[in-house]
Amino acid sequence: MVDDQLLVKVEGGNSADGVRSLRQWLVEEDQLRGRVQLAEAPPAPGTLGAVLDTLTVVLGPGGVATAVASVLISWIRRQRGNVSVKVIRPDGTVTELSATHVSGLEALQVRQLAAELSRSLDRGVEHTDPGVGDEQAAQ
């Protein structure tokens, strides 16, 4: 992974459709235009075609982490079923949001979560709120 980018992985439901939808939400944000790319994983042995479940987002100055955090939370709040988003920072730390947890939050909690996620995504700032799952990547 490049030192200045996040990997954003959608899991659950139809992940390829979820990635495309999330990408559209991200690129509609002025600060994120030109910073978001689809990333295809190689096909698993015995399957046809690449797997589309990941986006890359190039970090930078000017509130990019805040924009990413806000869009991720807004997008996942509108998802149905068991959908989650994993964000992998350049240092390998994984932050996970799930639709089942985020959809029930009140407005103040959403603002707090967005601020915390923004700090977390902004180059390695740790957070401690149990509402956002933060774990070291296994690989």
Domain of residue 16 covers 5-42+49-136
Q: What is the pLDDT of residue 2?
A: 63
* Strand pairing report for 133-136 and 93-98: antiparallel
Task: Give the Cα separation of 69 and 131 in Å (integer).
Answer: 14
Is the pLDDT at 87 greater than 90? The verdict is yes
> What does the chain come to in residues?
139
pTM: 0.77
Task: Give the Cα separation of 93 and 90 in Å (integer).
Answer: 7
Instruction: Give percent above pLDDT 70 in the chain.
Output: 84
Cβ-based burial of 51 (10 A; exposed 0-12, middle 13-18, buried ≥19) = middle
> How many folded domains does the chain comprise?
1
